Amino acid sequence: MTMGLRVDVDSIADALAVPELLVLLEEFNSRATFFITTGPDQTLMNVSHYAGKNLLNIPLKRYIPGFFHSILHHNVESHPSLGILINSGHEIGLHGYRHYEWMNFLHKKNMMEVSNMIKTGCRLFENEFGFFPRSFSSPGFATSKEYLFALDNFGFDYSSDFYGFHPFYPQVGDKKFDTVQLPVRIPSPCELQSNETKIPGMIKELSEKDNFILYIHPSCELLYRRELLKDILESAGNTLTLREIYENTADL
């Protein structure tokens, strides 16, 4: 039993930290799934979401380098530091389109509008990485019934859009959806903040009995919680891609 590591690339600041994160993962013989958002970097519009009410807890300097790079490289997925992921042994999946708009306004969109956003994301992703994405995760864990209907039309092998314990097929009323969900068990340490010191112990315990998923952002955990991230990787043993977790999923 082991941990699936999900790495969300939401912004240019995240993209910039990817090469350094790969070095650290190599050191721990760990694999991960990188979910890459597409479209322009709008992170600075979204800082209040990441920092919650404690804006001072997440240093603005986390975003400043990305801000300057975003002027040169308009879209997150086309940032040159992501090219290193191709043929790296890690998995690359699609993390929606226009992260800020998605996580804040998905609930107002109809199925056609959601479909169009996913379609655009797939096209930008394919242009950049040379293959159609096989896995998906919804920015900000935003979901709706319309989203789940739209998602099923793309035939992704799996999606990771919820917090939870075990893989499942979402159901709304009588409707059971076709895209299997691999939920995140442990939120990103930067989001847990005061409880983060408990994470390595929790991971050690979980690793002995279950498959589970933890998610991180390179621009936060790698740059501001490096020692904790090392403890996490150490406690988890060899982490896997979400695809490997998916392939080990017993029949649901």
Please tell me whether residue 10 binds Zn ion under the rule CB under 5 A.
Answer: yes
The pair of structure tokens assigned to 180 is 């299997």
Nearer to Zn ion, 69 or 217 (CB): 217
- 231 is a site residue for Zn ion (CB under 5 A): no
| Cα dihedral 213, 217, 218, 220 in deg (nearest 10) | -120
Nearer to Zn ion by Cβ, of 102 and 246: the residue is 102
- Interface mask toward Zn ion for 98-137; x: CB under 5 A: ----------------------------------------
Q: Give whole-number Cα distances, 177 to 144, 153, 205, 223, in Å.
A: 12, 10, 32, 38
- Residue 104: CB minimum distance to Zn ion, A: 12
Nearest approach, Cβ of 172 to Zn ion (angstroms)? 23
Full DSSP string of 124-156: HHHHHHSS---EE--GGG---HHHHHHHHTTT-
Which of 139, 189, 200, 218 lies at the binding interface for Zn ion (CB under 5 A)?
Answer: 139
Q: Does 14 bind Zn ion (CB under 5 A)?
A: no
CA 47/CA 151 separation, integer angstroms: 27
Q: Could you count the other beta carbons within 10 Å of the beta carbon of residue 163?
A: 13
Q: Which is nearer to Zn ion, 20 or 191 (CB)?
A: 191
89, with CB counted inside 10 A (0-12, 13-18, 19+), is: exposed
3-state secondary structure of 40: strand
Q: How far is the CB of 10 from Zn ion (least distance, A)?
A: 4
**Candidates 79-87, 139-147, 158-166, 200-208 — which segment interacts with Zn ion by CB under 5 A?**
139-147
Q: Is 8 in the site for Zn ion (CB under 5 A)?
A: yes
Q: Of the ranges 17-25, 138-146, 192-200, 204-212, which one interacts with Zn ion (CB under 5 A)?
A: 138-146
Shortest Å, Cβ 35 to Zn ion: 7
For the CB of residue 37, give the shortest distance to Zn ion in the complex, in Å: 6
In this complex, which beta carbon is closest to Zn ion, that of residue 220 or of residue 233?
Answer: 220
3-state helix, strand, coil in the chain (%, to 5): 50, 15, 35
CB 139 within 8 A of CB 105: no
Contacts to Zn ion by CB under 5 A: 8, 10, 139
